[in-house]
A and B are shown apart, each in its own frame.
Chain A
Amino acid sequence: MEKSLNKKDFDNFITSLRGKGYKTFAPKKNNNLVVLDEVQGADEISLDHVITNNSIKEFFFPKTENVLSYRMEKNQVQIEEPEGFAVKAVIFGSRPCDAFSLPVMDKVFNWDCSDKFWVQRREAITIVTIACDKCDSYCFCTSVGLAPDAKQGSDVLLTKISSDNYVVETVTEKGESLIKEFESVFSGPSSDSSDRQVATVEKKFEIEKVKPWLDENFVHAVWTDFSLKCIGCGACTFVCPTCHCFDIVDECTMTKGDRVKNWDGCQFKMFTMHTSGHNPRSTQGERWRQRIMHKFKYYVEKFDSILCVGCGRCSRVCPADMNISEMLEIIETEASQSENKE
């Protein structure tokens, strides 16, 4: 089903959604940043940014959440499980790379056990993506098999065709029923829908060359050399739409407490620290290797997907300017060189 939507009808769409009980999230200016956050109307929505500072994952897998609460009373433990965490919502204006991270992460959150927090939120939230009409030098979606107007993961995709007009394509049944529910907001197919304004994202490396090289080079000087400047914080993993490691802690008083699930990251020194004091990844080089290996080798072997969508957030926020696409370019060069040797 193809329709179009004029910018001036965005507000009508948001208000109609809210009228029907949907929560609405969209890119919004917050001081120096543009973040995906709740909006009441279209006037709050930012449309001239490259990508939001926060990724879409926090709406499905928040930075911190209670998985249960408990109280101890008379030698008994009462457990309360959280309810109402999956709220019917629409995320409007997320980017295609962010949207694609969701089906990639579905695989791990439905793997050996199904993570109810993720699954229920996935059902409750509809994704209306706006294709990128601009990009910056950190973007590399085209290098990992995506595109600035990729559809996978979105329920509805909007692509700019003129300064005020967007072509609307439904991708999933969920998207289709959303458009049907709010049909009056949308116009019919646009006549100029062939002239799509989509950013041109430069392809930086051949992804096919990466995994074979990783298979052979668990031990290599590049891991240490490249990560010398790494300060071992978790900024890259926390802004990443596909990093999904978490830690479970109990926060309690004498008689009651919460079991909390928090984001955790492989770049922290403490991440793999054993109680014995032994740390299997004792240097930053090993931790950096883990990040690359997990994204481009282990996850591929296990789930047949690359755990990276090329959004470039990690490189943008890195305190020491570690650039992930640069790392992959180095790997590609190394791979080509060893091919030539053979």
Chain B
Amino acid sequence: MIEALRKKAEELLKNKTVSVVFGYGEGSTPERTRPVFITKPEEVNKLTWNKYCVYNLTTYLKRQETRKLGKPAIVVKGCDARTLIVLMKESQIKREDVYILGVSCDGVGDPLAEKCKACDVHTPRIYDDLIGEKGENKELPFDERYAELDEYENLSEKEKWEFWQKQFEKCIKCYACSNICPLCFCDRCIVEKNQPQWIDPSAHARGNLSWNVTRAYHLAGRCINCEECQRVCPVDIPLNLLNKKLAKEAEKNFNYRPGYNIDDELAMSTYNEKDNQDFVR
């Protein structure tokens, strides 16, 4: 698979179909990979593919430094490809401005990442070229995909509050969660605005609660569950639980899975007159 990937990348760069390939390269340790940006055909041997390729490289589509490199070919797993669909639907990228090198994937991380345990997009649902065998993506049932949440949803109100206070207490406001997120693409984040200051910038309990709740909420109906926020958190806050909860509610109420079907309307920019309102008096 690595050979096929390198060959394709070399071809794309030689033909000048793209100016850069965003891919995975060897990292600091054998258990780690890192993003690499290949601009010359002779450098394609830096590309690799293995179970440590956890990153969602689509985040580099939002960064000005990597955008400057020109039209990219981007190596995406099935989950990452869903981000591309959301980005297209949200008018952040045009289909023709990115060459999608899909890879079929049986799960990444060691131990296996949580996101892979209920994966039903082993083969990307959008690509220009597929590296690896094309598998059949059988959609998993709703309950199975959100099973991780059960344990937390079943806590009592007090336990929930205490659990999250304990988690948020650790937050140091490094903003790795929002910087790594390919869908947190605002030029200026709400937390960086101070007239008025909606979110206290301090890393105290009040500021941490409003920051973490707001970060998650701004991804409601958009997050494709790549778990990058959780992976990068230096203090190990299970941030993806919040995102997953929101995804669950969005799917339950609006029958919408972000980045799953390219023809679906974005959940939070549309509405249905028959939307759930059981909770409204």
Contacts and interface: CB of A to CB of B under 8 A. Distances in A.
Query: Do A and B touch (CB < 8 Å)?
Result: yes
Interface of A: 30-33, 53-54, 63-64, 137-138, 224, 227-235, 237-239, 247, 249, 251, 260, 262-263, 265, 268, 270, 283-285, 315, 317, 319-321, 323, 326
10 nearest A-B residue pairs (beta carbon): A319-B232, A321-B34, A233-B176, A233-B179, A234-B174, A317-B234, A64-B202, A229-B35, A231-B179, A235-B174
Contacts, number: 110
Nearest to A273: B192
Given A233-B175, A321-B34, A64 B232 contact: no
B248 interface: no
Contacts of A317: 176, 232, 234
Interface of B: 27-29, 32-37, 55, 59-60, 63-66, 69, 172-176, 178-180, 188, 192, 194, 197, 200-204, 207, 228, 231-232, 234-236
A231 B65 contact: no
Given A231-B180, A233-B179, A284-B63, A321 B174 contact: no
Contact of A64 (B178, B192, B204, B231): B204
A63 to B, nearest CB: 4
A137 B29 contact: yes
A1 to B, nearest CB: 38
Given A233-B175, A265-B174, A315 B28 contact: yes
Given A228-B66, A321-B32, A238 B202 contact: no
Given A231-B180, A265-B174, A321-B33, A251 B234 contact: no
Contacts of A32: 236
A319 B226 CA distance: 14
Contacts of B188: 270
27 contacts: A53-B235, A54-B235, A227-B65, A228-B66, A229-B36, A229-B60, A233-B174, A233-B180, A234-B173, A235-B174, A238-B173, A247-B201, A249-B197, A249-B202, A251-B197, A251-B202, A262-B201, A263-B173, A263-B203, A285-B65, A317-B234, A319-B176, A319-B231, A320-B55, A321-B27, A321-B28, A323-B28
B65 A228 contact: yes
Contacts of B235: 33, 53-54
Contacts of A239: 234
A66 B113 CA distance: 39
B203 A63 contact: yes
A138 B203 contact: no
B176 A235 contact: yes
Contacts of B231: 319
A220 to B, nearest CB: 16
Contact of A270 (B32, B172, B192): B192
A137 B32 CA distance: 12
A214 to B, nearest CB: 21
A287 to B, nearest CB: 10
Contact of A234 (B29, B36, B176, B228): B176
Contacts of B194: 249
